[in-house]
Structure 1
Amino acid sequence: MNAKLSDQIPVRAHVFGTAVMKNGQKRKFDHMYEFSYLNLQPQGVHLYDLQTPTGVYCPRAKNTKALPTPSSAFHFTSEIIYGQSISRIKEYFDFDLNLVRYDYDPIGPEKKFGSLPLTQVHDFSTGVAYVIDQLRGNCTATPISGTGFDVRNANDPSHVRIRTSKEFFYFDKASYMYEGRRVVRGINSDVWISQRNDWPAPGSSNSTWEWYFATPNYTEMLLQKPSFGIPVRMVLDAGLGQHYIYNIYDYDERRPSIWSYDISNCFNYTERKDFSFKLPGNFRKLVSGDMEIFRYGVLKAIIAAGSVNKLQLSSLRIYNIKGFYSTTSF
């Protein structure tokens, strides 16, 4: 005869015995576990309940999914939430051309350039930052500050270089652990977490960095499939009230147009020279297929031709590239 037992409710577990330590010694143990509020229904357990809580970093945890690798060029808009304040910044990054641009509303020390919206273009080929008033067109040229978020000191504090894309997202010098998936801004996201002791300066107390990336089923609907993925949010907690939330919008890893770094307002017509050259052959189909790629290729060729040894011609010195056929312009 078959007998069906009713669901049993555990109330206590008594575990005792002897454990062997790493050094070979034996240690007796005696543990008592009390159970309460037990739910035997599987639908009562959500995947998120089995993950590490938000903001908790476990240094000895094993990473189960590789962190995405950023591309060498991208642009996006970021919303920064700190306490009761919200600020926005639009950023352009091109490691291959040594250029960074960001648009922002000045606060604090940045108001020395005015209180209207500003654009900064950093030319790491020359070490010069161009600060442009977006409404008035005023331009100030100044050395790139060694404290910028896009800057790394090269050999000494007076020489700077552009960050790599990994350094830009603070993926360097840190071991990120995959936490699982969470919903943020209504988007299913993969989450990685790490801990550093070099922010805002080397030797600082530990800060926790949490990155959220949209899951593949979210990005598969996009016309432009990103190789890096779509970053959605970054949460930085450095303790002592230093808690920042970076919401990232309109992330695009396609190379920003070279004209995005226009500094023509910083030079008058007497400081400009026009020149032209002619290429024999018929390249109409090739060029008309993607004019932006053609211009970028011409730009890279001019930079290579104008660079000597370690002195690289700045891409900002070349502007307004146009192409014409011998009979019809395009």
Structure 2
Amino acid sequence: MKCHCLVLWAAVLTWATMVGGSTSPGEGYNLRMTQEEREKVLDRMHAEMVGVEPPCVPPHNTPINPVMPMMPNAFSTRVEVAFQEDNRKKVIFGYESFDNILNSGVLSYELKKICKAQTILGLKEEMRFLFGLGEKIGDGGYYGTVGVMNWAYQYQYQYLGTQDCRGMICDKFDICISNPNGGTVHIVYYWSSTDWHVASDEPPVPVAVEITSDAKMSPLVTRRVMQRFDFYEFMREFRPSPEELAPPPDVYCMNRKTSEEPPEVPLYFSYSSEAVVGFEFSFPVGDNDTVNIQFTSIITQSESYDWEAKIALADYIPWYIFGDEYRYDHLTRRIQDFNQDLEYYIETNLDKQCRYGPMDNNTDGGNIIINKDGSIGLMPPWLFKDLDEPMQYNGIHVTRGLLSDVWVGMKKIPKTIFEEDFVWYYASPFVSDDESVENLSRELKWHLRKNRRRDMRESIKEELKSSKKSNSLGNGNDAPSLQSLDKVPIRMERYLNIMAGFPHLIYNMFDYQSEPPLTHTFDISPCYNVSQKRDFIVDLPGNTLVKVTNLRDKLLYSSQHAMALMGILSPLRINRMVLEERQDSIRLLFTVLDIALAAASATGAFKENNMNTAVNLIRNAINTNELVITVELVKPPEGIEGPLFVTVVPIAGSMQEVHRGENNDYSYTLDKGYHSGDMAGLAIGMLMVGALVGVIINMVIQRGNATPGGLPRVSMARKNRPTSDNTIAINGNLTGSEI
């Protein structure tokens, strides 16, 4: 919209018929009219219009004393419009604000929250529909009910003295306009008397306007009207805050162009969530009849999303487990793998009982889905822009006690005429409790935030550079470096256009972090049997931890993704990865999983390699130094603007299959090579074996020359018979007790 355009919020309205004994929504403001007082005013106006012929007579050069006060250049007021049409008395409550310097304003009527943006000229149709007011009300570029006040200065008005109005003394003025066809418009103005100032030494303010017309009177009115406008809390020279010039947070304006683009959704983030949702259950009441019972529940869980890896995690306790003394034993971890189109449910406190299967179709619809067990799935960020209408910036609003930037999008519900609005609240990561900041005017706060949105990144960089040069901290340390100015999502609401401004889901987010959720810790191995697992170790260079500045988790996270990329499989199938710090190297212990047995209807799983093929690809990449692990550092070294990446290459030939235990202990068969000393010892041993073989061969030959059946005899040096000269006789008493 152009800057001079005025948006009429809640352009399509529902009449609030005055019936019964209902009280005014303005209750609490001492001077507001009651329902009975409004009815008396309308009855009096009706009697004056039908009981007098003509209703009024235009004045002819009547001296005016006193002069009717002038409308201020800027104002803000609450408005109540009471009128009678077709024998029905009706009232509309609203708010109007205008800034003649900026030539912009707000018309807000609290009825159905339906919005559309259009130019000033387009508003005449809305005003004609609401109040029967013609194009003349838009003179000067302002199409508000208070614009009727300007008609008095364009036509000859007269002073009618003082009169009681809403418990105070008012100066009364009127104008009377007629045409040759007999139509007459009578407008009466009530201004606070000079004796009834709103504040000390302040000029009067308008209190009420009454309009009666017995026919169409172009360009003032477009039909027969009988209306009274009452102004409350009228403030002169009170310019509307830019926050008030913004639409309500939950209203989507058709055809309106956004002034600010929504923040970019990071590739990975995590937070704790609190969802307030409604449920409806059918209970049998007998005779095949049921009754529907509705109630609201709060569901809490911790969530992590990695849309680079296409993996999401949620820890929660199913909502339907209540009244159980041990309900917390049912803590469930749901892991969604969008690569395989599988989701895993693991009860972490009950021996990691696991069930898994194809992902439910309702998780990829671009919405937050409440599953049957109470878990909540967030739409993938890449579908966030896939709405039926582009997102719009709805200004700054307060939610959860914080000033928040609001964006709203609209999505049509398939096969219905209904629409759903998605409202996102984003807060700055800078939240100050400084009293001086809290006391800033709303306009100044808005301008500060506006400047921050546009160029805060550059200004803060310059401030940090200058503070480093001047050592403004005074303690010899460098000024702190600013890592991110990302906005923090704190709330999401969803509205149906049939719910009249009430959200059917409120989604609060706490402890938001835009760091990787460390998918290497997502253990899905309990869902696989022994034949679907193979365990391995891989060695990294000894200086790896120094190189990655001791970011062990990021090293594991990056190693998992590098292996998954090389093996053409989901990162989750590189599972249970842990780090072992050795004296001369860093060792990775991990498990490779096969394609899931339950993947028959999960088409994504069959786009990946099976376990053995993936292992061969990873092993070959390590042996040829083609597997490169890229790690992003959190804080770059001094003098280098981030982000900074370092690379780690595993040691070639170090991938070894092992037998892994439950506590990450492992064993493996060692295929070790031989050193030169080992070879020398082997040669000596072979010589000894050769000599032994020679002896055996000689014995076999001698056996062939011996008598049959006898053993080979060794040739004796002497063949003499035994005599006393060549023998020794040993006598022993073999029965002695000493033996």
Q: How does the TM-score come out when normalised to structure 2? A: 0.35
How many residue pairs match? The answer is 293
- Once the two structures are TM-superposed, the CA of residue 126 in structure 1 deviates from its matched residue by 2.2
- Once the two structures are TM-superposed, the CA of residue 269 in structure 1 deviates from its matched residue by 6.0
CA-to-partner distance for each residue in 1:183-237, whole Å, 9 max, x for gaps? 1111110011122104xx56561111111100364399x9985564200111101
SS at structure 2 position matched to 1:303 = helix
Give 2:269's match in structure 1, choosing from 46, 54, 74. Answer: 74
Does the 8 A contact of 1:214 with 1:231 survive in 2? Answer: yes
* Structure having greater relative contact order (Cα 8 Å, sep ≥ 6): 1
Does the 8 A contact of 1:12 with 1:35 survive in 2? Answer: no
Match of 2:524 in 1: 263
Distance in 2, Cα, partners of 1:275 & 1:131? 26
Counting only pairs closer than 5 Å after superposition, residues 16-165 of structure 1 correspond to structure 2 as 30-31=219-220, 36-37=231-232, 38-42=234-238, 45-83=240-278, 84-107=296-319, 116-136=330-350, 137-148=352-363, 164-165=380-381
Distance in 1, Cα, partners of 2:584 & 2:364? 48
Structure 2 unmatched ranges of 5 or more: 1-66, 73-147, 156-216, 222-227, 279-295, 368-377, 433-455, 457-479, 588-739
SS at structure 2 position matched to 1:322 = strand
Change in 2 beyond 3 A, CA 1:234/1:69: same
Match of 1:298 in 2: 559
Matched, 1:315 2:572: yes
Superposition CA RMSD, Å? 3.8
CA-to-partner distance for each residue in 1:57-109, whole Å, 9 max, x for gaps? 21122211111110111111111112532111222111222211112222469
Distance in 1, Cα, partners of 2:489 & 2:541? 45
1:90 partner amino acid: S
Match of 1:166 in 2: 382
SS at structure 1 position matched to 2:298 = strand
- Once the two structures are TM-superposed, the CA of residue 117 in structure 1 deviates from its matched residue by 2.8
Does the 8 A contact of 1:88 with 1:104 survive in 2? Answer: yes
Distance in 2, Cα, partners of 1:253 & 1:279? 28
Does the 8 A contact of 1:80 with 1:247 survive in 2? Answer: yes
Distance in 2, Cα, partners of 1:98 & 1:242? 29
Change in 2 beyond 3 A, CA 1:192/1:87: same
Decide which structure has the larger Cα Rg and report it. 2
Distance in 2, Cα, partners of 1:124 & 1:73? 14
Does the 8 A contact of 2:429 with 2:486 survive in 1? Answer: no
1:89 partner amino acid: Q
Distance in 1, Cα, partners of 2:516 & 2:560? 14
Does the 8 A contact of 1:64 with 1:178 survive in 2? Answer: yes
2:419 partner amino acid: N
Distance in 2, Cα, partners of 1:171 & 1:328? 46
Structure 1 unmatched ranges of 5 or more: 17-27, 153-161
- Once the two structures are TM-superposed, the CA of residue 324 in structure 1 deviates from its matched residue by 3.2
Distance in 2, Cα, partners of 1:47 & 1:192? 16
Match of 1:19 in 2: none
Match of 2:17 in 1: none
Query: Which protein is richer in helix relative to its size?
Result: 2
Give 2:150's match in structure 1, choosing from 13, 34, 46. Answer: 13
2:584 partner amino acid: T
Match of 2:401 in 1: 186
Does the 8 A contact of 1:70 with 1:228 survive in 2? Answer: no
Distance in 1, Cα, partners of 2:314 & 2:365? 10
SS at structure 1 position matched to 2:244 = helix
- Once the two structures are TM-superposed, the CA of residue 289 in structure 1 deviates from its matched residue by 3.0
Matched, 1:237 2:484: no
CA-to-partner distance for each residue in 1:122-177, whole Å, 9 max, x for gaps? 1222222111113212111211111125879xxxxxxxxx964232xx33224111
Change in 2 beyond 3 A, CA 1:324/1:29: farther
Match of 1:210 in 2: 423
Distance in 2, Cα, partners of 1:216 & 1:251? 10
Distance in 2, Cα, partners of 1:151 & 1:194? 12
Change in 2 beyond 3 A, CA 1:325/1:13: same
Distance in 2, Cα, partners of 1:64 & 1:29? 37
Distance in 1, Cα, partners of 2:306 & 2:69? 62
- Once the two structures are TM-superposed, the CA of residue 48 in structure 1 deviates from its matched residue by 3.4
How many percent of aligned residue pairs carry the same amino acid? 23
Match of 2:137 in 1: none
